[in-house]
């Protein structure tokens, strides 16, 4: 396999845009990525798109918005990891010389399709008839509240420590013009917001919204022709697992531990080398547990890690400078590529007020599925370097 | 790229099974494919699944039914070509040595999700709010009726010739225990069935139903260890295009002409070499036009081709021995891999009463999308040989 580089990254502002068609959202992000790469639409040889609930053949529709047609176009669904799977295939298509230039896109308009009531995002976030656990309240907040409760019992972690994750990410988001929310909250405000599922309060849960992001990938060799700031893909891992596999041993997500180990070995980059991480903080609890699963701190020390400010600016690694899913937002299919765009922009040094100083290595972490009824999940880890 | 072979193929009987969970349907087809390949579930290294409307992460759920976990699992949506896209990625993963053994699955339970009213199959087959043409009746029967009307105007093709395609496929399906319908109809019965969209009568339109199919792919080198009847993948093409690109020139589907030419060149197998073809006869008209687009006969001579019986047993090539989408059924995500399973079984010589004698080369043709509102489409052509 040849080395792969990202030469363009684009993203629209996240928010609630029920009238902004998914194809147009993806097209706008794609055009921004192409512009950064200095490529014409006709130079892209294949499109790989992640989405779970907008119209069929969305990759082809996005291509139409950009002004591309006649090329292979793949649509991926892997729950919250949908566009991470799409990126993995874009990466492989270039690494294996199937294509020289590929576009990976993540897009989701959740507000329009929840209004229409016709698509798959509904079943993912709302109870439906096929699952007795979900019908009885075991939705995603419940899944992560249980994980957090277990972490508290095992390691003495406190509700304040989980809330502190949300405080940090809200603070970060205030500097990010692409974020759905850009508002600072105090620890007290977060703890006193409406209880959703103990110990998770409202401001510790990601919102429902809309967004899109895109990256252009090519070979490392080609990259030199297009940019002075290529970002190289050091590892791309996608795996899967079942909920119950995390039921033994300490509170953790087993697929994350496994995927991270494989990614670090492939990249020859360890957690101590990372400058910036975008991780899947669907709920504050998930971020704290992921510190440990990703090896940013030892198992059981996630609470200390956030207390000491080690995951913020001036700490050991800046986690979720974008504001994360909690504040930048989590339009399901958009998230994986949006995380990559954020990390790429930091490595390119173009992030303005939220720039992580001198960022040279970054990681994205994105899980999809994993929940009630032993629902199986996908887990994606990507490591990039400048 | 190394040569790729199919060493196992499985399929469930198609029909209406609203209580048969999609994951179980895919699992049953997968287990049959594994059994034919003589593989244990733990030997599969990745799963690629096509589906448009059942629960998220369906590939992982199918893996769970089979007894597999912890491996990459990709879910593909490309409208009717969903599992053709999944197969393409399974093929590439083996060709490029990413994996040694991969499972491609196609599955769709349409009857259950239409009952639930929560998923994307609805918008594909029913009018929805986003498309003025669809709202005014320009659904898939209308798209193909227009194509047929144009073919009649250009080439003098008759409604009887279109109906004869359905007569042939119903006759074929009567020998296929996997078909949704297994009933012979006379040409008169077909022409006199309820008019859906002139010149298409009801018995010239594919049904809504449920089904699943799976194939195991590995390298040609590995294949020898597992079977004495490997089927080799001579070409795998997936492309896309827009509806309006077929608006100029004679009545045809432009993406099909383009994909077929690429596939024949890659495979070094021409239309005259084919013994068996499974093609996308969503409506009788599409099969007749595809004869020409695939080069089975010259442009404009599709009517003569069916009149002379050249696409049936004893003709030049047996088209849709399964009964095709018209009679075997068209559970959207299942179709692409199901077509492959049928052709593979003919090349293995295991088709019983419907066996195409001495079949050595086969082709599958599957399109997805392409319709109202200039909806873009996918087109897949796969050529296999013994």
Q: Cβ(B243)–Cβ(B377) under 8 Å?
A: yes
Average the pLDDT over B13-25 and give the result. 94
Of B196, B231, B266, the position where a domain reaches its end is B231
Q: What angle do CA B55, B57, B60 make, to 5 degrees?
A: 120
Q: Cβ(A269)–Cβ(A234) under 8 Å?
A: yes
Out of B113, B226, B280, B330, which one is annotated catalytic? B330
Asked whether the beta carbons of residue A240 and residue B72 sit closer than 8 angstroms, the reply is yes
Asked whether the beta carbons of residue A119 and residue B123 sit closer than 8 angstroms, the reply is yes
Average the pLDDT over B226-230 and give the result. 94
Separation in Å, CA of A361 to nearest CA in chain B:
25
Asked whether the beta carbons of residue B258 and residue A70 sit closer than 8 angstroms, the reply is yes
Chain A residues lying within 8 Å of B75, measured CB to CB: 76-78, 85
Chain B residues lying within 8 Å of A59, measured CB to CB: 240
* B361 has pLDDT over 70: yes
Structure letter (DSSP) for residue A168: H
Chain B residues lying within 8 Å of A130, measured CB to CB: 21, 55
- Using CA atoms, how far apart are residues A369 and B51, in angstroms rounded to an integer? 16
The CATH number of the domain holding residue B55 is 3.40.47.10
| Tokens found for residue B145 | 């009726």
Strand, coil or helix: A4:
strand
CA of residue B261 relative to chain centroid, distance: 18
> What is the structure's pLDDT at B117?
45
Asked whether the beta carbons of residue A72 and residue B117 sit closer than 8 angstroms, the reply is no
- Using CA atoms, how far apart are residues A175 and B178, in angstroms rounded to an integer? 59
> What is the structure's pLDDT at B243?
74
Of B76, B119, B376, which has the smallest distance from its Cβ to A64's Cβ? B376
How many domains does the structure of chain A reveal?
2
Between B205 and B139, the more confident residue is B205
Co-location of A110 and A169 in the same domain:
no
Average the pLDDT over B288-292 and give the result. 98
Q: How many CB pairs under 8 A join A and B?
A: 179
Asked whether the beta carbons of residue A378 and residue B73 sit closer than 8 angstroms, the reply is yes
Structural domain includes residue A125: no
Of B231, B264, B294, the position where a domain reaches its end is B231
What single string gives the DSSP state of each residue in A223-265? HHHH-SS-EEEEEEEEEEE-GGGGSSSSSS-HHHHHHHHHHHH
Chain B residues lying within 8 Å of A266, measured CB to CB: none
- Using CA atoms, how far apart are residues A354 and A362, in angstroms rounded to an integer? 15
Co-location of A145 and A245 in the same domain:
yes
**Of the given ranges (A215-229, B120-134, B237-251), which has the lowest mean pLDDT?**
B120-134
Q: Cβ(B107)–Cβ(B212) under 8 Å?
A: yes
CA-nearest residue to A114 within chain B is B118
The b/e string for B345-377 (b: 16+ C-beta within 10 A; e otherwise) is: bbbbeebeebbbeebebbbbbbbbbbbbeebbb
Between A129 and B191, the more confident residue is B191
- Using CA atoms, how far apart are residues A98 and A75, in angstroms rounded to an integer? 17
Q: Which of B210, B206, B209 lies closest to B283, judged by CA? A: B206
| Tokens found for residue A51 | 């989405």
Of B231, B263, B289, the position where a domain reaches its end is B231
Put residue A183 in one of left, alpha, beta given phi > 0 → left and psi -120 to 50 → alpha: beta
Co-location of B268 and B217 in the same domain:
no
| Tokens found for residue A380 | 């994606």
Q: Which of B118, B123, B127, B377 to mutate: most A Cβ within 10 Å? A: B118
Structural domain includes residue A340: yes
Strand, coil or helix: A192:
helix
- Provide the whole-model pTM: 0.95
ipTM, two decimals, is 0.93
Q: Cβ(A334)–Cβ(A212) under 8 Å?
A: yes
Separation in Å, CA of A48 to nearest CA in chain B:
10
Strand, coil or helix: A152:
helix
Chain B residues lying within 8 Å of A119, measured CB to CB: 118-120, 123
Co-location of B56 and B107 in the same domain:
yes
Q: Angle A140-155/A284-293 helices, nearest 10 degrees? A: 50
- Using CA atoms, how far apart are residues A263 and A245, in angstroms rounded to an integer? 20
For residue B189, the enclosing domain spans 131-207+234-385
Co-location of A353 and A316 in the same domain:
yes
Max Cα distance, chain B (Å): 57
Q: Which of B233, B298, B254, B234 lies closest to B272, judged by CA? A: B298
- Using CA atoms, how far apart are residues A245 and B366, in angstroms rounded to an integer? 38
> What is the structure's pLDDT at B137?
76
Computed over every residue of chain B, the mean pLDDT equals: 93
| Tokens found for residue A74 | 């793949």
Co-location of B112 and B141 in the same domain:
no
> What is the structure's pLDDT at A244?
73
> What is the structure's pLDDT at B244?
73
Out of B76, B80, B197, B205, which one is annotated catalytic? B80
Q: Which of B216, B3, B9 lies closest to B103, judged by CA? A: B216
Structural domain includes residue A187: yes
Out of A76, A330, A346, A365, which one is annotated catalytic? A330
> What is the structure's pLDDT at A243?
74
Q: Which of B1, B89, B48 lies closest to A96, judged by CA? A: B1
CA-nearest residue to A129 within chain B is B116
Co-location of A224 and A350 in the same domain:
no
**Phi, psi at residue A7, to the nearest 5°?**
-115, -5
Co-location of B136 and B107 in the same domain:
no
> What is the structure's pLDDT at A112?
79
Chain A residues lying within 8 Å of B122, measured CB to CB: 118
Co-location of A176 and A300 in the same domain:
yes
> What is the structure's pLDDT at B248?
75
> What is the structure's pLDDT at B121?
47
Helix/strand/coil (H, E, C) string of chain B? CCCEEEEEEEECCCECCCCCCHHHHHHHHHHHHHHHHCCCHHHCCEEEEECCCCCCCHHHHHHHHHCCCCCCEEEECECECHHHHHHHHHHHHHHCCCCCEEEEEEEEEHHHHHHHCCCCHHHHHCCCCCCHHHHCCCCHHHHHHHHHHHHHHHHCCCHHHHHHHHHHHHHHHCCCCCCCCCCCCCHHHHHHCCEEECCEEHHHECCCCEEEEEEEEEEHHHHHHHCCCCEEEEEEEEEEECHHHHCCCCCCCHHHHHHHHHHHHHHCCCHHHCCEEECCCCEHHHHHHHHHHCCCCCCCCHHHHHHCCCCCCCCCCEECCCCHHHHCCCCHHHHHHHHHHHHHHHHHCCCHHHCCCCCCEEEEEEEEEEEHHHEEEEEEEEEEEC
> What is the structure's pLDDT at B74?
97
Q: Given pLDDT bands bounded at 50, 70 and 90, which one contains residue B343?
A: very high
- Using CA atoms, how far apart are residues A301 and A291, in angstroms rounded to an integer? 9
Radius of gyration of chain B (CA): 19
- Using CA atoms, how far apart are residues A247 and A361, in angstroms rounded to an integer? 32
Structural domain includes residue A127: no
Q: Which residues are B201's β-sheet partners?
A: B195
- Using CA atoms, how far apart are residues B364 and B325, in angstroms rounded to an integer? 12
Structural domain includes residue A65: yes
Radius of gyration of chain A (CA): 19
- Using CA atoms, how far apart are residues A107 and A332, in angstroms rounded to an integer? 8
**Phi, psi at residue A49, to the nearest 5°?**
-125, 140
Summarised one tens digit per residue, pLDDT across range B130-142 is 567 777 777 889 9
Structural domain includes residue B125: no
CA-nearest residue to A257 within chain B is B70
Q: Which of A93, A118, A124 to mutate: most B Cβ within 10 Å? A: A118
| Tokens found for residue B343 | 């052709």
Co-location of B359 and B378 in the same domain:
yes
Q: Cβ(A42)–Cβ(A9) under 8 Å?
A: no
| Tokens found for residue A77 | 């669904």
- Using CA atoms, how far apart are residues B88 and A45, in angstroms rounded to an integer? 16
Structural domain includes residue B126: no
Strand, coil or helix: A275:
coil
| Tokens found for residue B345 | 């079984």
Asked whether the beta carbons of residue A240 and residue B116 sit closer than 8 angstroms, the reply is no
Chain A residues lying within 8 Å of B378, measured CB to CB: 57, 60, 73
Co-location of B295 and B378 in the same domain:
yes
Contacts for A173 with CB less than 8 Å, ≥ 6 apart: A179, A181, A182, A183, A322, A323, A324, A326, A327, A328
- Tell me if residue B330 is catalytic: yes
**Phi, psi at residue B123, to the nearest 5°?**
-60, -25
- Using CA atoms, how far apart are residues B143 and B240, in angstroms rounded to an integer? 17
Contacts for A362 with CB less than 8 Å, ≥ 6 apart: A274, A275, A276, A277, A278, A343, A344, A346, A347, A383, A384, A385
Co-location of B157 and B168 in the same domain:
yes
**Of the given ranges (A256-260, B243-247, B371-375, B378-382), which has the lowest mean pLDDT?**
B371-375
Summarised one tens digit per residue, pLDDT across range B78-90 is 999 999 999 999 9
- Tell me if residue B282 is catalytic: no
Can you give the pLDDT of all 386 residues of chain A as single tens digits?
Answer: 999 999 999 999 999 998 899 999 999 999 999 999 999 999 999 999 999 888 888 999 999 999 998 999 999 999 999 999 999 999 999 999 999 999 999 999 988 765 544 444 444 554 444 567 777 777 889 989 999 999 999 999 999 999 999 999 999 999 999 999 999 999 999 999 999 999 999 999 999 999 999 999 999 999 999 999 999 999 999 999 887 777 777 899 999 999 999 999 999 999 999 999 999 999 999 999 999 999 999 999 999 999 999 999 999 999 999 999 999 999 999 999 999 999 999 999 999 999 999 999 999 999 988 776 667 789 999 999 99
Structural domain includes residue A248: yes
């Amino acid at each position: 396999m040849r080395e792969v580089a990202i030469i363009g990254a684009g993203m629209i502002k996240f928010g609630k845009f029920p009238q902004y068609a998914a194809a147009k959202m993806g097209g706008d992000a794609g055009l921004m990525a192409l512009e950064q790469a200095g490529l014409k639409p006709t130079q892209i040889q294949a499109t790989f798109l992640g989405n779970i609930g907008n119209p069929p053949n969305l990759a082809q529709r996005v291509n139409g918005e950009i002004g591309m047609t006649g090329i292979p176009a793949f649509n991926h669904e892997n729950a919250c990891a949908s566009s991470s799977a799409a990126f993995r295939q874009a990466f492989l298509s270039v690494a294996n010389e199937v294509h020289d230039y590929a576009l990976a896109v993540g897009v989701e308009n959740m507000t329009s399709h929840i209004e229409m009531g016709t698509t798959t995002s509904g079943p993912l976030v709302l109870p439906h008839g096929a699952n007795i656990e979900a019908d009885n309240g075991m939705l995603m907040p419940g899944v992560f509240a249980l994980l957090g409760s277990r972490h508290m019992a095992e390691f003495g972690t406190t509700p304040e420590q989980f809330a502190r994750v949300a405080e940090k990410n809200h603070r970060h988001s205030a500097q990010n013009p692409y974020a759905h929310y850009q508002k600072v909250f105090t620890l007290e405000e977060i703890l006193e917001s409406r209880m959703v599922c103990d110990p998770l309060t409202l401001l510790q849960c990601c919102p429902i919204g809309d967004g899109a992001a895109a990256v252009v990938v090519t070979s490392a060799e080609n990259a030199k022709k297009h940019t002075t700031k290529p970002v190289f893909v050091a590892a791309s891992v996608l795996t899967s697992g079942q909920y119950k596999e995390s039921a033994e041993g300490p509170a953790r997500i087993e697929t994350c531990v496994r995927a991270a180990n494989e990614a670090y070995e492939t990249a020859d980059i360890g957690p101590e080398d990372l400058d910036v991480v975008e991780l899947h903080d669907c709920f504050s609890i998930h971020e704290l547990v992921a510190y440990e699963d990703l090896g940013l701190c030892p198992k059981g020390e996630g609470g200390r890690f956030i207390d000491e400010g080690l995951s913020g600016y001036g700490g050991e690694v800046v986690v979720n400078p974008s504001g994360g899913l909690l504040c930048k937002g989590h339009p399901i299919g958009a998230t994986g590529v949006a995380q990559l765009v954020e990390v790429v922009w930091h490595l390119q040094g173009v992030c303005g007020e939220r720039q992580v100083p001198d960022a040279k290595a970054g990681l994205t972490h994105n899980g999809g599925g994993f929940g009630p009824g032993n629902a199986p999940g996908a887990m994606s880890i990507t490591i990039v370097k400048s």
